Structure 1
């Protein structure tokens, strides 16, 4: 928490709503990166090395050198230096920092920090999920129909159309925050009931999947298999405030026309 706060205060917030055109680049496919992303990742790498000398698999490091992905199958740190860069670059919330520690392709610890509010979520495998030091239990909204944040961005055209026709009508749709550091807490803190993710990059999902599962919700691949940080980056993922909500959405997805 101290490291994430320090990086936020020294690197991220001084750049918030203070970026010039020269400070923002497009990595391709409307995927921005800012000078703050790179500075944040460099500082996180240095700080994490003091905690445990493990390879760091960071979003910006992998973009520069894709071979770094090989470390995801071993012991490593996984870092998203600014999750929600699109929001950050446009001067809008939410955005945060995501860190996970993985062993053998599985996240064992995860931390989620909201840079603007200071909310700090933490989880360790088998030891529960916490928000600002208090253990929490996932809870849904209780609404009928359930509240769903469904990301259609990375679906192919056929899957997007099928999801809109056969899945969306069964839920009250709400916005997606373009920020996993916000979406996972929403699923446990009675803001959203379910979410669908198509792209499942490790730095976006490792910490959140562990945290939601430890809170008593459920996050897993649509076929029910566990999420692995070294798995398919486009394998799809369902997150839900409870196992029952997860089961219902998974059944609907399984019934989609081929």
Structure 2
């Protein structure tokens, strides 16, 4: 796994250096388009995914590569994602932030085998922070092993992604959480949210949409550091298994507390 980690992390840093950072705060108007209203895609997403797809396919011959942008153009790319060896790519997580010239944003890659998350990488191109995890081997930030560090305030710090909920459900969650959780803004970037859960900034995160490229790398990073991600009903989050929503928390105990507050 060490050799593979070296190859993948080097590839991600190449994308950051050659494609991503030269265009940060330097995008032309024609280099940003909307996939759907409010959901932009940039030339950086497209060029990053093309380079990563080609390189990862050569790195493990026979493995499939599933990229966010390829799947947005052809949803059948996701068919059978839970079978065989699959690379999952988010070439620019936090595209909206990037297109607005603000941080955070990230490059994320996961390696899965028959739906099991085997390894994950999250690179913050602005700081060169590399978060990496391998199943059964732990979580690392720039090669230093890390464990989750819950916050020490009177209430757990929770970042709830409420944007995709209807008004009634959104208000219900806010009311349920009012005296039980310390609600904070989300970073609009899963590649930042998962490190926040591990590194002592947030205790709990709630997600409505759980695309594999957003959650496969970070979910493994969280779990290998001592945290938990699962569907709100407690069902494990697994690649290729349908489900809606997920709770992620710095510890299993915090996960239980969050589930009771928000869904009990």
CA deviations on 1:48-95 (whole Å, 9 max, x unpaired) are 122212111110000111110014112210000000000000000000
**Conserved? CA contact 1:200–1:232, under 8 Å:** no
Which of 158, 169, 183 is matched with 1:173 structurally?
183
Which of 34, 46, 52 is matched with 1:38 structurally?
46
Confirm whether residue 12 of structure 1 aligns to residue 23 of structure 2.
no
For 1:135, the equivalent position in structure 2 comes to: 145
**Conserved? CA contact 2:180–2:261, under 8 Å:** no
CA deviations on 1:208-256 (whole Å, 9 max, x unpaired) are 11110000011111111110121336x111111111111101112232x
Confirm whether residue 55 of structure 1 aligns to residue 64 of structure 2.
yes
Q: Tell me, in whole angstroms, the C-alpha distance in 1 between the residues paired with 2:179 and 2:187.
A: 20
Q: Tell me, in whole angstroms, the C-alpha distance in 1 between the residues paired with 2:262 and 2:114.
A: 29
For 1:237, the equivalent position in structure 2 comes to: 246
Shift of residue 167, structure 1, vs aligned partner: 2.0
CA deviations on 1:74-129 (whole Å, 9 max, x unpaired) are 22100000000000000000001010011112211111110100000111111111
**Conserved? CA contact 2:20–2:44, under 8 Å:** yes
Q: Tell me, in whole angstroms, the C-alpha distance in 2 between the residues paired with 1:25 and 1:9.
A: 23
For 1:68, the equivalent position in structure 2 comes to: 77
Q: Tell me, in whole angstroms, the C-alpha distance in 2 between the residues paired with 1:226 and 1:156.
A: 25
Confirm whether residue 23 of structure 1 aligns to residue 39 of structure 2.
no
**Conserved? CA contact 1:55–1:71, under 8 Å:** no
**Bigger CA drift: 81-90 or 166-175?**
166-175
**Conserved? CA contact 2:129–2:141, under 8 Å:** yes
Q: Structure 2 vs 1, CA of residues 41 and 51 (structure 1 numbering), >3 Å: closer, same or farther?
A: same
Q: Structure 2 vs 1, CA of residues 168 and 152 (structure 1 numbering), >3 Å: closer, same or farther?
A: farther
For 1:111, the equivalent position in structure 2 comes to: 121
For 1:81, the equivalent position in structure 2 comes to: 91
Shift of residue 20, structure 1, vs aligned partner: 1.1
TM-score of the superposed pair, with normalisation by structure 1: 0.96
**Conserved? CA contact 1:101–1:107, under 8 Å:** yes
Shift of residue 29, structure 1, vs aligned partner: 3.3
Structure 2 spans left out of the alignment, 5+ residues: 1-8
Output aligned runs, 1:136-155, within 5 Å.
136-155=146-165
Structure 1 spans left out of the alignment, 5+ residues: none
**Conserved? CA contact 2:123–2:131, under 8 Å:** yes
Q: Tell me, in whole angstroms, the C-alpha distance in 2 between the residues paired with 1:150 and 1:29.
A: 22
What SS is found at the alignment partner of 1:177? coil
Which of 88, 103, 111 is matched with 1:101 structurally?
111
**Bigger CA drift: 188-197 or 245-254?**
245-254
Cα RMSD (Å) of the superposition? 1.1
